[in-house]
Amino acid sequence: MLKNNKINIEGLIEGIRKGNRKFLAQAITLIESEKDEHKVQSQKLLKKLFTNNITSVRIGITGIPGAGKSTLIETLGTNLTKSGFKVAVLTVDPSSSITGGSILGDKTRMVELSRNPNAFIRPSPTSGTLGGVKKSTRESILICEAGGYDVILVETVGIGQSEISISEMVDFCLLLLISGAGDELQGIKKGVLELADIIAINKADGDSLESSKRTALEYKNALRILQSSADKETPVMTISGLKNIGIDDLWKEISKKLHDLKLDGTLEKNRLHQQKKWMWEMVEETIIREIETKPNIMKLKSEMEESITNGKTTPVIAAENILRKISNQ
């Protein structure tokens, strides 16, 4: 918690670079704060920590609710720390729309990993975020990288096509599914399938093993149609996060794909593209926030919305009226 508005940025940076998890948590709390003074301090912090050097692997893990994302992350994260990696896990925790409080605590779902000295887990409430990740997730990634974490796992709330937002901040997307969840193609949107770099059918053990294999085959067939004219070929695997089956093979496949991305320069190109998109998103957010502080513009906004509702104007004309008002401020 940030108990006061005066924060020792240099001390915070020193603690982060030493990999101190307490300082990492404080820094992320700072960048998540909506207070104006904290926003100024967080930008100072990020400016000092920012680097274009690629020091980590950023992996997004998404999928339908109940697919076992947290179980997989605990098993994969534990395996990686045993191999000498430092693993940071950034999770978006569903928030209650009534109380605003988090429904689940990821540290209670990843007990072993949360105790691991080479792992850092940070759950953050969605707070109404629709994109499956928080706006501050990018900044949290940078802070974890500055703390020496070389594998960053970003888990989303798993709410469908809005998961596309995660692809704009990670190097690699893993789509986690299970067999027997309604239709075998589980209503997964085409866009989400196309963004996945690997699809893993989880809980492929015991009585579910054969049905998981059938589900994997159905996805392979579906992807052949989707990707018939594309260079991309998405592997489909069966795994069990709970039983630690196929997890080493999954990591080998991820490592191979990331190695290829580094080799041909795609990884660096993707990171630069993400930074430019991040810039424009910040511009859009700042403009909208600025508009919301102007009573006369908000009044015009309400008038234009009413005009659209009543069929007196079009969205294009309404937008032009608002933009004209803004430019005359």
Query: What CATH number is associated with residue 23?
Result: 1.20.5.170
Least confident stretch, 11-25, 79-93, 170-184, 271-285: 170-184
Asked if pLDDT for residue 105 goes beyond 80, the answer is no
Is residue 143 in some structural domain?
A: yes
Q: Per DSSP, which regions of 16-118 are E strands?
A: 57-63, 87-93
Parent domain of 37 = 1-50
Is residue 98 in some structural domain?
A: yes
Is residue 42 in some structural domain?
A: yes
CATH of the domain at 307: 1.10.287.130
215-254 confidence digits (pLDDT tens): 999 888 888 887 765 667 889 999 999 999 999 999 999 9
- Please check whether residues 63 and 77 belong to one and the same domain: yes
- What letters, b where the CB count within 10 A reaches 16 and e where it falls short, cover 205-237? beebeebbeebbebbeebbeeeeeeeeeebbbb
Least confident stretch, 62-71, 121-130, 180-189: 180-189
Asked if pLDDT for residue 181 goes beyond 70, the answer is no
Average pLDDT over residues 116-128: 81
Q: Enter the tokens of residue 166.
A: 């995660």
- Please check whether residues 60 and 169 belong to one and the same domain: yes
Percent of the chain with pLDDT over 90: 54
286-308 confidence digits (pLDDT tens): 888 778 888 999 999 999 999 99
Residues 6+ apart with CB under 8 A from 54: 262, 267, 268, 271
- Please check whether residues 142 and 288 belong to one and the same domain: no
pTM above 0.75, yes or no: yes
Could you say which of 264, 286, 306 is where a domain stops?
264
Is residue 140 in some structural domain?
A: yes
Average pLDDT over residues 1-26: 85
Provide the pLDDT for residue 93. 62
- Please check whether residues 163 and 248 belong to one and the same domain: yes
- Please check whether residues 44 and 167 belong to one and the same domain: no
CATH of the domain at 157: 3.40.50.300
Residues 6+ apart with CB under 8 A from 173: 59, 60, 62, 166, 167, 195, 196, 197, 198
- 55 vs 148, higher pLDDT: 148
Provide the pLDDT for residue 130. 45
Least confident stretch, 159-168, 277-286, 310-319: 159-168
- Please check whether residues 99 and 76 belong to one and the same domain: yes
Cβ count within 10 A of residue 320 = 13
Provide the pLDDT for residue 282. 81
Cβ count within 10 A of residue 311 = 7
Rounded (5°) CA angle 72-76-79: 145
Q: Enter the tokens of residue 70.
A: 């947290």
- How many domains in the chain? 3
Asked if pLDDT for residue 151 goes beyond 80, the answer is yes
- Please check whether residues 79 and 144 belong to one and the same domain: yes
Could you say which of 264, 291, 312 is where a domain stops?
264
Quick one: 89 exposed, middle or buried, by C-beta within 10 A (0-12, 13-18, 19+)? Answer: buried
Provide the pLDDT for residue 102. 44
